[in-house]
Amino acid sequence: MKKVHLIGICGTAMAGLAAMLQHQGFEVRGSDQSFYPPMKDFLETQGIETLAGYKADQISTDLDLVVIGGIKRQSGS
């Protein structure tokens, strides 16, 4: 297992998990609805690729693991 995608990567726990996995040699990327400091800056300094939004095409067949964080539902959803 080498390629990991984290959905909701800008959460405190998910960003920490992303960095830990990256340091262990995993290829990590993630997506989130919005990217704000300090998590945006933290992920950039770790060299972790981030993708905007939650789109099905972000989940490619070459991924070994997808982790879904706590995603807030918008009202009316």
pLDDT tens per residue across span 2-42 = 999 999 999 999 999 999 999 999 999 999 999 999 999 99
Quick one: pLDDT at residue 49? 97
Domain ranges of the chain: 3-68
Spatial distance between the Cα atoms of 50 and 32, rounded to a whole number of angstroms: 8
Are the beta carbons of 39 and 15 closer than 8 angstroms? yes
Spatial distance between the Cα atoms of 24 and 46, rounded to a whole number of angstroms: 12
**pLDDT for 68 beyond 90:** yes
**pLDDT for 77 beyond 90:** no
Homologous superfamily in CATH for domain 3-68: NAD(P)-binding Rossmann-like Domain (3.40.50.720)
Q: Is 12 left (phi over 0), alpha (psi -120 to 50) or beta?
A: alpha
